[in-house]
Structure 1
Amino acid sequence: MHQRTPSHSYRIPVSAPPPQPSHLHLGGTASTNPPAAATPAPRPRKRHTSDDDPLLGMDALGSGGGARSSSSSHDAAGWITSRLGGRPALKRWMLIALGVSASYALLHAATSTSPSASTTTTTTTLGVASWWSGKTKGGRDPDQDDLDDWLQPPRVDRTALEKLRLLEIHYGADEDDEEGEEAGQGGTGAALVAGDEADSARLERGGGGGGDGGTRVKGNENGRAAAGAPGQLLAATDAPPLVAEIPEFVKPDPLAPPAPERIPADILDRRVCGAVDGDSCRFLVPAWLGEQETKAQQHLYQLGLLALALNRTLVLPNVAKSRLGTCYKNPFSFYYSPTSLSDLGIPTISQEEFIDWTMRRDASPSAQVVTMGNAKSDYSLGAIEIDSAADPSLVPSKPTRNLCLRAPRTRLDFSGHSPLAIYPPEGYHKSEAGRLGFGEKVITTLRSRKVVSKSSRLSGSTQAKAAAPPPDVLAFNYELRFPILSPAVSSAFAAPTLPEPLPFSHFSYADVWNSLGEQLVDRLAPFVAIHWRTETLLPANLAPCGQSLINKLLELKRQYPSLRNVYLATDYPIESLDPTLGPASQPGEEAVAHSGTFAKVVTPQHHTAMRRFLRDFKKRAKGQLRLTTFAREQAELAAEADSVLPPALAQRLVELTTPLLRRPASSDSKARSLALAEPVTASEAILSLAKVDSGLYGILDKLVAMRAELFVTGVPGVGSSTVGACAKLSSFTNQLIAAREDRIAAGEEGLWNTVEHFALSGK
């Protein structure tokens, strides 16, 4: 049966929760220290002796009164005749009716409490400074805080009760009492009323006696049924459960591979990550990264340093559309060299190998979602949030964001740990000391036994939670934009046997794209490559910047007479204005930008400025320079692919694109086999690159520009400002400049400059 513990969320800082009546418990025993202000439950009218009342005697003895059952019927008949007959009978019946009516009214008032009050979640908060220093805001010892947290009377989370009610539909709400009792003792929706203090509660709720002197109300629906219909508890529990939702039927995939053979955890962990002495593999999964491919490389490196400091292995995420994350279809090696991070000293495993580990391991690996978000104004000193009311497999602040790590994709078990969110202090990024200081606190937080204990959802005592092991897998939702770790900081926390990792350098791209880029460079040389990113530029700057760019190109032509081609890489869809630069948009379709973060529909000012640029370029260049783009070179190369491409490169392109372009319309295995039996040609493969993955255009633009004899880009604005700028400050451009500097430093011939700039002044 699914086990749940009370909902406790830890945030920055709030007052202690108000006390609640102590007779309600979430999977525990009755409280021995009720609040002084609580009103004691009314007790039944006291009888003179239990022998005079056979029903009271049965309640006291429970199931142990079998020895006296032979004479009880005669005594009961005598008691009924003497007590409920005669002249005082009417008065006694009126008192009984009055008592039942009062009890019903009290129960009705108790169950009609405002929803806002009943759904309040118990919240405790610790600031970053106080949390990491080991003291709370009031100066109390953290251990005492833990004790106070668990001694506070629990609050009933009604949303959790509703979830439990839905769970009971699938896990047997109408099963026998023995199975239901096990569920009730561990579930949030169980209420235990124990001892002599529960006598009147049993009468009011309609429950019978017996057992250990306690009545368990299972789930929220049964509890309301018992309270609303005295004497009908048995009928309510025997009734079929209310069907709130019909489970969806998932049709088995006939093409799905058979389930892999399960392997004992210790054997598989030793094979996958070298775990010994009973240790298990520990992984850090970059499930979602907040920026596009170029900056995502830096974020992945930061998570690699964090994994090293936590003694975990980094999982290399999948890729697609210039993004990195676990939901994408192509493996990491589709974009990059698979050794990009291990060459920097960071242990890694592919996402495919990681998923295979989760599927083959006999014991499901435990997992926890960790969010690292941007600073919040409410948390000026930063914050750590543990949300025990949220779905453990989702990002609490973004429940619609899918991390693609739940079943049936993996066998990760998120149920044992609440999601964890870490927010940096305001202004942490303004200095290197602030960034690295925050990074150290992140490491100590994720290594803290207190955080593991607080986030544990395992049933049991505080001591049991404190002994709970950390999750096997940390799945990161990473939204930070600035680096917080250095190799030195990471190495200080890492195992002493591991060498200090190397500083960040951009990842090497896959061999197939390097080879294709070299083919394009050979066709264009000698040429000048331009990266002109117009995103967020003032529209008024576009036209004068275009004139300045033409001036710069003519100046370079005079300086290098052999210069022939101008390769333009821009986020504006310039092919829509000049069909010779590549395939234009379909009739009736709006122009689509080349950048995923560019405006969804380009503005009229962009069209006007780019039309003027193309017109003036043709007029002033006078045929001395040829303007081209990747789309134009792609079409020309595809026309000659069978004769000019090296056989190994052509074969690799065919292997990458055939499964996507020859995908059958039906799931029939025969149709699939026939489709794959007819591979695409090399020409089709080159023309289909955008269909395979639109992010390949940006990668190939980089590979061409970093090998060009000359490179030109616009002058960026100061900071985030674009006033007076001809380009946006871009990590894409910075990567190109760094790559060209490295090539020149290595003595590579053929590069005539590192970078030239064009500006509004025309220089």
Structure 2
Amino acid sequence: MFLSQITRKSFLLICFFFLLWYIINSFYYEQEELLLSDKNEGTLTEIHPTSPPTSSSNTSLTTIIDNNNNKNPLEELNKKFCGRPTCKFLFAYSIMEQETKANMHFRSFSQLAEQLNRIMILTNVGFSKIDTCNKFPFDFYYNTDLLQKEFPNIIFKSENDFIFWLKERDQIKMTLNNNNNKNIIPPLSILHTSIQSHKNDTNYYNAEINFDKNKCISKFEPLMNLEDPNNSRVNYTKMFVKSADLRRGRVKFSKLLTEVLTIDEEILLVNGRVLYPLFPEIMPVIPYNDYILNEAQRLKDKLSSSYIGIHWRLESSIPELLPECVQGLIKTLNKVIKEEGIENIYLATDYPLLSSRSQSSSFKEVTKYHHDAIRTLNETFKINTWVSLGGLKQLRKNKQYNIEMNGSGIQGILDKLVCINSNYFISGPKGCARVSSFTKSIADKRNDRIKNNDHSLLNVINRWQL
């Protein structure tokens, strides 16, 4: 029993000393952590901005500026976003043509961006336009990976990427300028210019403030405000281009264009209203998004082994002539069916297919002559369209694409691709149909394929007779 009591006393003593040791050490480490905390108070960790390819206009900003180093934070942002200390953009924010010509003009402006060593903004698309007023990103229509391969020396950024850069720059500006009570980061430097076809001689000159201001530019406010001198220093110019200079003198004109637009401004805002390419080399058509290509292939497969493609743009036709026009088309179709043995027919048209409105924003008046002509055609043959074949079904189910589906947007590209792939292609004569660049682009592509020995195509284009 005595030994047992000793053992218990020893155990209690050991516990007492261990508890005392623990209290002393805890106090010491707590004081040490407080000291370290005091030393580190006010030290900021720099988190570098990134530019995610799908950054949106409401991107949350997490950049924390470290003012204790000697680096210029704006230069650091530009290096990460643009690969160089100064970002210089070319933003062709409005191209006043429908998709076929807009596609060509965007390639011209990309060539200009390459000559000027500027980042090219991928302008939004929609309703058969390349225009910042539209809400869909550039890759809704186009394959940006293949575009990059066509222009390997250009950095391309989306509109959302551009907004991200504006936000980051604005945050740096507010932080540094407010802390130092002086303008370390200056306002945005911008040249706003318009390039327009004109009947007179080519001329480049200073323009009045806020000329031709596109209302959709306001969507970049307050980050880019052309009317606030504290936000943006803006110069305005215009270039009138004689059409003959673009038809026959593009080498000389492109040198002039590059020379006058070699400027120091960060942002070159351009709206374009020209008829012809700006550079002598005409780049290949911007490739379309894989989703549209796959849809075109699916419709082709639905049409079986062979089909006749028709492009009938009723806009600008003479309504009273349409009864005669449709009979001429029927006669031509019967002839092709008999001689070539092709029975399937695909119709690409601006006639209303999903609503009472035409598929083209510029085709306003659909008359009884138009309705009667299409009715007669449908009563004579089984006519297939992108709607009857279930084209773009997933987009049509989504309400955000309603306006696009009822206009001349993505389905116009689909029609173009299906007609390019048709075994036989026909279009209307003057008076019955509008002779358009859309039809020409189909014929040009078919001509290239026939030259490359594509024996599935039986003709380039035929126009039916009245």
TM range (shorter): 0.7 to 0.9
CA distance 1:261–1:408, shift in 2 (3 Å): farther
Q: In the comparison of the two structures, how many residue pairs are matched? A: 382
The Cα shift of 1:417 comes to 2.5
1:609–1:334: structure 2 CA closer, same or farther, 3 Å change rule?
closer
- Match of 1:729, as an amino acid? V
CA distance in 1 between partners of 2:64 and 2:164 (Å): 10
**Partner of 1:754: helix, strand, or coil?**
coil
Question: 2:267 corresponds to which residue?
Answer: 473
Distance 1:609 1:475, change over 3 A: closer
Question: Secondary structure at 2:346's aligned position in 1?
Answer: strand
Letter in 2 for 1:353: D
Structure 1 equivalent of residue 337 of structure 2:
557
1:384 aligned residue (188, 191, 205) = 205
Partners of 1:265 and 1:691 lie apart in 2 by 42
Q: Tell me the equivalent position of 1:423.
A: 240
CA 1:506/1:357 → structure 2, altered by over 3 Å: closer, same or farther? same
AA aligned to 1:472 is E
How far is 1:689 from its partner? 8.7
Tell me the equivalent position of 1:3: none
The match for 2:260 among 445, 454, 476 is: 445
- The separation in 2 between residues aligned to 1:693 and 1:610, in whole angstroms, is 18
CA positional deviation for 1:630: 1.7
> In the alignment, which residue of structure 2 is the partner of 1:633?
389
Distance 1:613 1:335, change over 3 A: closer
3-state DSSP class of the match of 1:568?
Answer: strand
Structure 1 match to 2:23: none
Between Structure 1 and Structure 2, whose CA radius of gyration is higher? 1
Task: Show the counterpart of 1:527.
Answer: 307
Q: In 2, Cα distance between the equivalents of 1:375 and 1:325?
A: 22
Paired residue secondary structure (1:353): helix
Equivalent residue for 1:592, pick from 342, 348, 357? 357
**Residues 262 and 553 of structure 1: CA distance in aligned 2, closer, same or farther (over 3 Å):** farther
CA distance in 2, matches of 1:631, 1:613: 15
Is the 1:366–1:472 Cα contact (8 Å) retained in structure 2?
A: yes
Superposition deviation, residue 291 in structure 1: 0.6
Q: Which AA in structure 2 matches 1:481?
A: L
| Superimposed CA distance per residue, residues 665-721 of structure 1 (whole angstroms, 9 cap, x where no aligned partner) | xxxxxxxxxxxxxxxxxxxx9xx6955975122111112212222211124xxxxxx
SS of structure 2 residue aligned to 1:384: strand
Secondary structure of 1:547's aligned partner:
helix
Q: Hey, what does 1:372 align to over in structure 2?
A: 195
Structure 1 residues 439 and 550, CA gap change in structure 2 (3 angstroms): same
2:284 to 497, 500, 505: 505
- Alignment CA distance shift 1:693-1:556 (3 Å): closer
Q: By how many angstroms is 1:626 displaced? A: 1.5
1:269 corresponds to: 78
Write the letter of the residue equivalent to 1:385.
N
CA distance in 1, matches of 2:96, 2:335: 40
User: Identical aligned pairs, as a percentage?
Assistant: 28
CA distance in 2, matches of 1:632, 1:617: 12
CA distance in 2, matches of 1:443, 1:613: 49
- 1:50 corresponds to which residue? none
* Cα distance between partner residues in 1 of 2:308 and 2:382: 10
In 2, the alpha carbon distance for the partners of 1:616 and 1:287 equals: 41
Give me the whole-angstrom Cα distance separating, in 2, the residues matched to 1:504 and 1:550: 38
Instruction: State the distance in 2 between where 1:295 and 1:616 align.
Output: 30
Check if 1:713 corresponds to 2:427.
Answer: yes
**Residues 320 and 693 in structure 1, CA contact (< 8 A), matched pair in contact too:** no
Question: 1:547 — aligned with what?
Answer: 327
Gap change, CA 1:308 and 1:405, over 3 Å in 2: farther
Change (3 A) 1:274 1:740: same
Aligned to 2:114: 308
What are the superposed Cα offsets for residues 526-567 of structure 1, whole Å, 9 maximum, x if unpaired?
Answer: 211100122223334433222221111001110122x22211
Q: C-alpha distance in 1, partners of 2:64/2:95?
A: 32
**Residue identity in the other structure for 2:375:** L
| CA distance in 2 between partners of 1:439 and 1:473 (Å) | 20
The corresponding residue for 2:162 is 354
1:608 corresponds to 2:369: yes
Is the Cα contact below 8 Å between 2:92 and 2:270 reproduced in 1? yes
Which letter does structure 1 place at the counterpart of 2:108? Q
The offset of 1:615, in angstroms, is 2.6
Q: Equivalents in 1 of 2:454, 2:188: separation in Å?
A: 49
Partner Cα distance (1:506, 1:340) in 2: 11
Q: Structure 1 CA distance, aligned partners of 2:101 and 2:408?
A: 17
**Matches of 1:405 and 1:441, distance apart in 2:** 32
Q: Which residue of 2 aligns with 1:332?
A: 138
The structure-2 alpha-carbon separation of the partners of 1:272 and 1:411, relative to structure 1 and needing over 3 Å to count, comes to farther
Given that 2:224 and 2:231 are in contact with CA atoms closer than 8 Å, whether structure 1 keeps it comes out as: no
Distance in 2 (CA, whole Å) between partners of 1:529 and 1:411 is: 48
Aligned-partner Cα distance in 2 for 1:611–1:692: 21
* Structure 2 equivalent of residue 98 of structure 1: none
Aligned position for 2:105: 299
1:432 to 243, 248, 254: 248
Asked if the contact 1:542/1:726 (under 8 Å) is kept, the reply is yes
What is the correspondence of 1:162-241 to structure 2 with a 5 Å cutoff?
A: none
Which residue type is aligned with residue 444 of structure 1? E
Per residue, is there more strand in 1 or in 2? 2
Q: Distance in 2 between matches of 1:507 and 1:438?
A: 23
Higher relative contact order (CA 8 A, sep 6+): 2
Alpha-carbon distance between aligned partners in 2 of 1:511 and 1:339, rounded to the nearest angstrom: 11
Q: TM-score, normalised by structure 1?
A: 0.46
1:425: Cα distance to partner? Answer: 4.0
Q: Which amino acid aligns with 2:329?
A: L
1:282 deviates by 1.1
Of 71, 74, 91, the match for 1:285: 91
3-state SS of paired residue (2:425): strand
Looking at structure 2, the residues matched to 729 and 710 of structure 1 have their Cα atoms a distance apart, in angstroms, of: 18
Report the secondary structure of 2:278's partner residue: coil
Mapping of residues 58-97 of structure 1, within 5 Å: none
Ranges in structure 1 where 5+ consecutive residues have no aligned partner:
1-254, 453-469, 488-502, 576-582, 586-590, 639-652, 664-684, 716-721
SS at match of 1:288: strand
Deviation, 1:416, is 1.6
Q: What is the CA–CA distance in structure 2 between the aligned matches of 1:616 and 1:471, rounded to whole Å? A: 57
For the residue of structure 2 that corresponds to 1:471, the secondary structure is coil
Which amino acid in 1 is paired with 2:299? Answer: L
Confirm or deny: 8 A CA contact 1:336 1:510 kept in the other structure.
yes
What aligned pairs does 1:648-727 form with structure 2 within 5 A after superposition? 653=394, 661=399, 690-691=404-405, 695-715=409-429, 722=430, 725-727=431-433
Cα shift at 1:375: 1.8
- CA offsets, 1:308-360, max 9 Å, x none? 12121211111111111223211111101013432222512222222212222
CA separation of 1:260/1:366 partners in 2, compared to 1, >3 Å: closer, same or farther? farther
Q: TM-score, normalization: structure 2?
A: 0.73
Q: What do the CA deviations read for 1:170-219 (whole angstroms, capped 9, x no partner)? A: xxxxxxxxxxxxxxxxxxxxxxxxxxxxxxxxxxxxxxxxxxxxxxxxxx
User: How far apart are the structure 2 equivalents of 1:268 and 1:274?
Assistant: 9
